[in-house]
Structure 1
Amino acid sequence: MIQLREIMTPVNECLSHKSTLYQAIEIMKRKKWNIVPVINQAGCLVGVFTRSILYQMVLDSRELHTPIGAYMRTDVVAFPVDTPYSIIEKVVENSNVGSGVVLDEEKRPIGLITTTDIVLTLLRTSYSLREQLEAILATSQLGAVMTDEKNQVIFMNARFCDMLGCADEEMIKQNIQDVIPGIHTTELKEMEHDIHRRLKIGSHSTIVRLSKYKTVKGQEGFIALFQNISEVERMAEELESVKRWKTLLQTVIDKAYDGIVMINKKGSISFLSPSLIELFELDKSQAIHQPIDELLPQLGLTRVVKSGLADISDFMEVNGIQYIVHRIPVLQNQQVVGAIGKIMFRQLQEVRERFKRFDSHESKNNMVKQQQRQSESSRFTFDEIITGDYQMEKLIRSVSKAAKGRSTILIRGESGTGKELFAHAIHSLSPRDEKPFVTVNCAAIPEHLLESEFFGYDEGAFTGAKHKGKVGKFDLAHGGTLFLDEVGDMSLPLQAKLLRVLQEGEFYRVGGTDRIHVDVRIISATNRPLEDMAEKGTFREDLFYRLNVISFEIPPLRLRKGDILLLCDLFIKDLNKINGTSITGMDPEAERVMLGYEWPGNVRELRNVLERAMVFAESGKIQLDDLPDYVLKKTPLPSSQPPVLQQNLLNKAEQDVIQLALQKTNGNKSKAAGLLGISRSVLYEKLKKYQTKCP
């Protein structure tokens, strides 16, 4: 509502009936007023002196000192200060003076009101209302279009332009039918009430409300308001999908053999399945919202809420029916908000029988696997070579390429670095992977037996020979791979015969006269310096070059300490299965010692140390005292290093392990947590700590 004080021009000077023409002219000139109020001695309004009166007195040749009392107008248009704006507008519009005087409660002039004041106020109000209207439309997300009496667009807001995908200047003066498809001329002519309709505007689904309004010319125009319902439709689809899933889930729960109960964080029952109600003979209406420990304390669900760990109960019984309870915590934002109890009681005897058959089948599978391990075949692949070291990963990529060819490969490395593991992996990736993989440890077999092991012997070849002779390793490896471990320990005479096989692809059995042709790929391994041995004459130079077609060296564990904790986690899981232990990890001080030790025996020594420590460990984690004395003596104690350096070394190793796990699982955090043997919440904390990103 417009207030009169907001429109009027304040008055702080007035005339009296004794005031002179000069005084009136001086006030009008200084204040730029067209009228000046005239007051009595009490200050109350008695008339006005106008510009037209001034002109008349000048035309009458009145002196400047002439009093104005005889000329002032007494038919004054005056308004109390609390007069409504609508009344002022009509009075001023019909007044010949075109101006009015505003009076206070005591009838004293306090302001002037003119037609100009009203027009300016109307303009300001119109602009304000327009801004408010546009703000309302913008906030409401409504699209708006307005036409004139010729159905031509005279306004459209920004929201409608966004819907239509155009600028407003492109649509102004166009017919509304061209702007809004689906609205027809005949429909506009016959329109008596507002129209509500669904329309497609651009890519948006909308509800349009089309209304009439009176233009300034008194004719009819149209206003169209558009509500975008695309989001509403999407939400409705999602809601419908949720309803379908809820119905399906409820059906599954109702028909499930297992009984299901759900409790909230406070231990109150929030859901019971029909089968559970039937098993425990409960009244559902009375059971809901009751404390689980009062109604079904034997289920033990509240302790799962406290611990956050799932578990399974022993066999229990109710009304002669045996059952077991699977207790599962319910997590939300990594916080326990309740628990679910799954009660399994139907056909438990059949489940037991299934488990018996499964155990029997598993035993048979283990026997088969054991037999396969004992047979002449490779047992490992490159996927089983665990590392987080860049150089090792680069080496694996190079060896993988070499594995696919036919060339002879020489594997170098210190004892315990995994040379045999690489040999198995090379064969598994080669075109010969379905053929035999035969291993000969040149250092473990007595020298006088090596030749017969390699080439076999015929019947009666020497005293003590088997009646039907023996097939050698080359025969067994025909079409496949022969792995010569510790090849540097082979005698010179045998080296000569081996060279012939490599060059000619044929050999003679011990005591035999027939040439045996073979197709064998040779992979050899050694921890000895064959180049130096060749120079000294203890290893044939020509054989060395024959074996050294493709050569690579496995770095020792001390040069890739980032792999130590990674291998520890792997070995702990493996040894837990083998030895029946339940070790979950290592104490931080023990980890620091493991990282500080040089590991001359490499991976083999690491596994042996872990196995010993796990046997002696008295808690769930390997402590410092569980490690062998020789390891502790050769490693600086944690206290001898600055704590910051110790922690940095441990953090770097842990970070490398986490990064490798994420790479192995293609960024899947749940799988990475399982691979690392930790919970997802712990993994998230460590990712945040190290600011590790997914690969």
Structure 2
Amino acid sequence: MRWKIETNDRVGMVLDVLKVFSDAKLSIDVMEVKPREIFLKFKYPNPEIIKEKLLTEKDILNIEEIPLLPVEKKEKQLVEILETVSDGILAIDQYGKITRINSMAEEILNLKGKEVIGKDVGDVLNKNVPMLTTLRTGEDYDNKEMSLIINGRRVHYITSGRAIKGDKNQVLGVVATMKDMGKVREMVYSITQPKAITFEHIIHHSSVIGDVIELARLAAISHSTVLIQGESGTGKELFARAIHWTGPRKDKPFVPINCAALPDTLLESELFGYQGGSFTDAKKEGKQGLFEFANGGTLFLDEIGELPVHLQVKLLRVLQEGKIRRIGSNEETPVDVRIIAATNRDLKEMVKQNQFRKDLFYRLNVIPINIPPLRERLEDIILLAKYFLEKYNLVTGKKIKGFAPETLEIFKNYHWPGNVRELENVVERAVILTPENSLIKPHVLYIEKENNLKTSIEIDENKSLKAQLDMLEKKILEEVLKKYKTTRKIGKVLGLSHTGVQKKLKKYKLETEVYKNGN
């Protein structure tokens, strides 16, 4: 039974009400007092008897039965709010005991609320959770990444916490919010995702590129690994994005990384993440890698041929088992990621040279896609040039009318070693350098003829074949050194590994030339 008793405001009013219940030998479960109002919750089979006695008391004006006391109504509203929000919410008191947990937190933490209320949060979660630090220090925290094993399952979430303080600034408890890391990734991707690219965005007339698109469309509808091969600038990433956006993972992240752009150690931590404290300058809470960020989506590994051998082993393991292990951790995390790899190198030849693992090559080469160079799709050159002209007219705000006939003739006859990327750069430069309302003339193209490496061979009858081949090899290295400066670039040009280049340079005492150039 719950009552609202309306009264006049005078001293002793509450005592008068309590006396009536005391005389009837009744206990009150809950009493809440406000100005001119007394709220009661009690059990009694004949409430009308008590009601009659109360109404005979001085200054009691009215008694009304109510469904909930104000405090119960607030509690119910709070519970509804906690269950409505999309975040998990966990609260502890000044002793570290769990006082509240909403259903979202139960789901994120793999817990049942009824089983953990009243238990120590350090025992339920972990002794190092930031809530306990806040309980000791009173300092709030934001966006801490947590990865814990709870009831046999790894839970991964982002959490922020606030201290609950009393009038004297004493810490009375802590309340924390949390988001599942998978939800965080989806939210980040929904905000940062680039414009969708489909096969309709690939400009072409030629049948040779049309055949490649048809093959890529078939590849897109599966979850299989794709290996895209082609020269630099042919549009390998464009195809990778189109495959992702046309496939079943289009609503999940597309995460690209260039395997040649980062040092080996940084590349490993970027791909696989690391456990907190794994190395100097590592984040205390650790960091997720791109495999985890791309979970459910696609990871695009550009320039896969540059992947170091020890990372080739780790990538092979992910492809075989669908699990990753962070640097410094012994625990494995399941990931569901589609791999699209790309390279401008001959991986088969690299396998023969023991520069690329054979087993990884066959794992990647499930669906091979070879993109032809621009010189093999002549019908597309003018079409692409006009497309880029329209694009950079918009970008620059200019109105370049088109291309002079002699310019188009140069486009058709040029070898385009940089492929579509080079063509785009040439058109962009030409638009900038061409006067308004004019045609693009050849003099603003600045297309250079290819500098092929030419080395004269002089036969010396007094030297053996090996000695003369050594002289030729040294000469080639000296010429390449002048142009490419670093061992990595030299290796790429000559088809040698980094170690192979170093051995050759040492053999002919050319290391100092590399060091001068800042390798």
TM-score, scaled relative to structure 2:
0.49
Largest Rg, 1 or 2: 1
Structure number with higher relative contact order (C-alpha < 8 Å, ≥ 6 residues apart) = 2
TM-score, scaled relative to structure 1:
0.37
